[in-house]
Amino acid sequence: MAKTSIYLNFQGNCEEAFNFYKKAFKTEFTGRIYRMKDNPPAPGMPVLLEKEKNYIMHIVLPIVDGTVIMGSDMLESMGHKLKIGNNTTINMEPDTREETDRLFKALSEGGSEMVAPADMDWGYWGVCLDRYGIRWMFNGPVKK
């Protein structure tokens, strides 16, 4: 079943923020908390700074009425800088790759900062900043 969630980025304090949200919403994290050190470095990528190894790569928390927030820390070692506009993303999880492609094409028209959907370890992923400055992430189904 297709769903939508909200993805939040932080500059090193994602875990602190999500523990705050966990207390505020009186819910528990869903699934495993992934840290940057849990993912082997890709060839040619910068080496993580020591302080970044325990940063959050992915965390999920249900908040209200089926809405979920997810989050991660941005990496200084990769030149990431947190600013208004890259700190919040609407995450779409369509049921099909075709719908993923359709939504990406529609929302990226006139936009920027685009990465067309492509196969990743976790699924069919892409992202764009639409013409109004809203960031959309697409997580389609894994290729069978």
Write down the domain spans for the chain: 3-140
CATH level 3 topology of 3-140? 2,3-Dihydroxybiphenyl 1,2-Dioxygenase; domain 1 (3.10.180)
pTM of the shown model: 0.75
pLDDT tens digits in sequence order for the chain, 144 residues long: 888 899 999 989 999 999 999 999 999 999 999 999 998 777 887 888 899 999 999 999 999 888 999 999 988 877 778 776 678 889 989 999 999 999 999 999 999 889 999 998 888 999 999 887 888 999 998 887
Half-sphere exposure of 23 (CA within 13 A, CB side): 5
Percentage helix, strand, coil, to 5, in the chain? 25, 35, 40
**H-only helix segments in the chain:** 14-25, 97-108
Burial environment of residue 111 by CB neighbours within 10 A (0 to 12, 13 to 18, 19 or more): middle
Question: Greatest CA separation found in the chain?
Answer: 42
**H-only helix segments in 1-93:** 14-25
